[in-house]
Structure 1
Amino acid sequence: MAAADLAPQELRILVAVADEGGFSTAAVRLGATQSAVSHAVRGIERKLGVVLFERGRFGARPTPAGERAAAHARRVLRMLEALAADVRDADTGESSGPLRIAAFRSAALHLLPPALERLAERHPGVEVTVTVVRELGAGTAGEVAAGRADLGIATLSGPPPAGLVGGVLLQEPYSLVHPAGHRDPRALPLVDWAENCGSYTRAWWAAQDWIPAATVSAEDDGAVLSMVGSGLGMAIMPALSLTGAPPAVEITDLGPDRPHRSVGYVTTRELATTAAVRALIRTLRSLRTPTPERAESQVREV
């Protein structure tokens, strides 16, 4: 036997065990017995010729091969769903079926809502779910690569990761954010959060001798804005994070050499051809803007 002999139900079992971290919990999810799930996994491992899970008191932990196999299984199962939806859509001319989106926080708050509203108006049959993912490590692109999302709204610093395709939606500039009316905001301590200032701005950031090391580390950009508005410090933040910034903060342009962050989408090659994903990409592109409107209206020059 070979991997080509794997049936959809075997793929579902593989994904369930990887997701649940154990045979018994996967069995509950699948409505099967633990022995049946364990037997099925052993059969899958024989077909693939590799151990997919480490067994122990902790349950069943995917090996590196198991992680890769589960990612492929999720993507294959998703394509079977997409096949059914696209066949129906070919007759109706509509886009329908599930659409799973992974987005980092500021994109989920400020970029996606108008796009999803328009998508719902044009394609009411598309069933959207959104997962907010911290843009650290693999980030939203990792969710797509692992088969847990169909499309990710991601920060891009170059071509998409191997096996994925994508494109830039907007370039958001960074600005200095500080308590409104402060006479010398650059003298304030720096408030920051882990997702800020990736490789996109690192060189610029290192060249600024006026930016101190962060003395306050917040959970996310919303917490940073709250702290800055309370007078606890200043921050360097991208435009999406500043959409709808409160009156207690002031946004100052960092000048012509200010850094920018590329925000775009990533998806798999196979899902890029499906009607629902194509409809969302078209909608995102139709709404994109170089600088989010609310943030731009608040920016003043140094």
Structure 2
Amino acid sequence: MAAADLAPQELRVLVAVADEGGFSSAAVRLGATQSAVSHAVRGIERKLGAVLFERGRFGARPTPAGERAAAHARRVLRMLEAMAADVRGADTGEIAGRLRIAAFRSAALHLLPPALERLAALHPGVEVTVAVVREVGPGTAGEVAAGRADLGIATFGDTPALPAGLIGGVLLEEPYSLVHPAGNPAPRTLPLVDWTENCGSYTRDWWAAQDWIPAATVTAEDDGAVLAMVGSGLGMAIMPALSLAAAPPAVEITDLGPGRPYRSIGYATTPELAATSAVRALIRILRSLGRSTPERAKAQLRAV
């Protein structure tokens, strides 16, 4: 027997054990017995020719092979579900079914809502879930690669670097600005407030060349906390346009000039999911909104 002989139920067992971290909790999730789950996992391992889980008192932890197998299993199961939804809508043209999105915080707050509002108006049968994921480490693209999301809203460097097996594209480029307490006469002399997700590879060279930017005095959890701290007079920050979409009146936004850095925001998905109706529909909407977002950001900056 080989991997091609794996049945959908075996894939569900594999995913449940990987997600739950143990055979007993996976059995509860699947409505099966622990022995049946353990037996199924041994059969899967024989078919794949690899040890997928480390067993112990801690439960069952996926090995590197197990992590990869679980990611493939999630994606295969998701495609079976997407196939059913697409086939049902083939004659009517109706787009329906689940759509799972992973997005970093500012994209979830300011980029996705108008896109999802338009998607709901055009295709009310699409059921959307959004997971807010920190853009650190694997980030949103990693959620897609692991099979936990259909589409990720991701930040890119100079060229989109996606995990193997994913495709994507840039939706918009947003400028960085200096953010400081309103009315401060010398904002560049203030301490720096920063957060972990800020200043990726797309701004690192620019950042290093600015001798007026000190090391961060305060590191916050996210960009919303940074804005609150800046508004309270604790320092200045350098932030991208999406993070400033709901900037409070207590902060002032200053253009960094013609050499300002930019951040690219794009989408990541799998080639298979990119061919499904729901993912295609959302990408079209996001591209349309992406073309207008830079102008909105410029208008906001001019207004300040």
Query: Which residue identity lines up with residue 104 of structure 2 in the other structure?
Result: F
Cross-structure match for 2:185: 183
Mapped pair 1:239 → 2:248 = no
CA distance in structure 2 between the partners assigned to 1:300 and 1:190 by the alignment: 24
Cross-structure match for 1:291: 294
Alpha-carbon shift at residue 296 of structure 1 (Å): 3.1
Alpha-carbon shift at residue 244 of structure 1 (Å): 1.6
Query: Which has the higher mean CA deviation after the structures are superposed, 157-166 or 99-108?
Result: 157-166
CA distance in structure 2 between the partners assigned to 1:290 and 1:252 by the alignment: 18
Cross-structure match for 1:154: 154
| Segments of 4+ moved more than 4 angstroms | none
Query: Which residue identity lines up with residue 63 of structure 2 in the other structure?
Result: T
Query: Which residue identity lines up with residue 206 of structure 1 in the other structure?
Result: A
Alpha-carbon shift at residue 290 of structure 1 (Å): 4.5
Mapped pair 1:77 → 2:77 = yes
Deviation digits for residues 121-142 of structure 1, max 9, x if unmatched?
A: 0000100000000000000000
Mapped pair 1:95 → 2:102 = no
CA distance in structure 2 between the partners assigned to 1:292 and 1:121 by the alignment: 24
CA distance in structure 1 between the partners assigned to 2:17 and 2:241 by the alignment: 41
Given that residues 252 and 300 in structure 1 are in contact (C-alpha distance below 8 angstroms), is that contact kept between their aligned partners in structure 2? no
Alpha-carbon shift at residue 287 of structure 1 (Å): 1.2
Alpha-carbon shift at residue 300 of structure 1 (Å): 5.4
Count of residues paired in the alignment: 301
CA gap of 1:37–1:214, structure 2 versus 1, over 3 A, is same
- 1:60-139 equivalences under 5 Å are 60-139=60-139
Cross-structure match for 1:223: 225
Given that residues 172 and 261 in structure 1 are in contact (C-alpha distance below 8 angstroms), is that contact kept between their aligned partners in structure 2? yes
CA distance in structure 2 between the partners assigned to 1:215 and 1:175 by the alignment: 19
Deviation digits for residues 226-245 of structure 1, max 9, x if unmatched?
A: 00000000000000000021
Query: Which residue identity lines up with residue 4 of structure 1 in the other structure?
Result: A
Deviation digits for residues 166-198 of structure 1, max 9, x if unmatched?
A: 111100100000000000000000000000000
CA distance in structure 2 between the partners assigned to 1:44 and 1:178 by the alignment: 57
CA distance in structure 1 between the partners assigned to 2:76 and 2:301 by the alignment: 46
TM-score (norm 1): 0.98
Gaps of 5+ in 1: none
CA distance in structure 1 between the partners assigned to 2:215 and 2:283 by the alignment: 38
Given that residues 173 and 258 in structure 1 are in contact (C-alpha distance below 8 angstroms), is that contact kept between their aligned partners in structure 2? yes
Given that residues 151 and 265 in structure 1 are in contact (C-alpha distance below 8 angstroms), is that contact kept between their aligned partners in structure 2? yes
Mapped pair 1:47 → 2:47 = yes
Given that residues 11 and 77 in structure 1 are in contact (C-alpha distance below 8 angstroms), is that contact kept between their aligned partners in structure 2? yes
Given that residues 141 and 266 in structure 1 are in contact (C-alpha distance below 8 angstroms), is that contact kept between their aligned partners in structure 2? yes
Alpha-carbon shift at residue 292 of structure 1 (Å): 6.4
Please, which of 238, 255, 258 is the counterpart of residue 256 of structure 1?
258
CA distance in structure 2 between the partners assigned to 1:281 and 1:229 by the alignment: 35
Query: Which residue identity lines up with residue 278 of structure 1 in the other structure?
Result: R
Given that residues 239 and 292 in structure 1 are in contact (C-alpha distance below 8 angstroms), is that contact kept between their aligned partners in structure 2? no
Given that residues 252 and 299 in structure 1 are in contact (C-alpha distance below 8 angstroms), is that contact kept between their aligned partners in structure 2? yes
CA distance in structure 2 between the partners assigned to 1:170 and 1:161 by the alignment: 20
Cross-structure match for 1:173: 175
Query: Which residue identity lines up with residue 175 of structure 1 in the other structure?
Result: S
CA distance in structure 1 between the partners assigned to 2:173 and 2:274 by the alignment: 22
Q: Helix, strand or coil: the match of 1:270?
A: helix
Gaps of 5+ in 2: none
Please, which of 203, 210, 213 is the counterpart of residue 211 of structure 1?
213
Q: CA RMSD in A?
A: 1.3
Q: Helix, strand or coil: the match of 1:236?
A: strand
CA distance in structure 1 between the partners assigned to 2:207 and 2:2 by the alignment: 52
TM-score (norm 2): 0.97
Query: Which residue identity lines up with residue 271 of structure 1 in the other structure?
Result: L
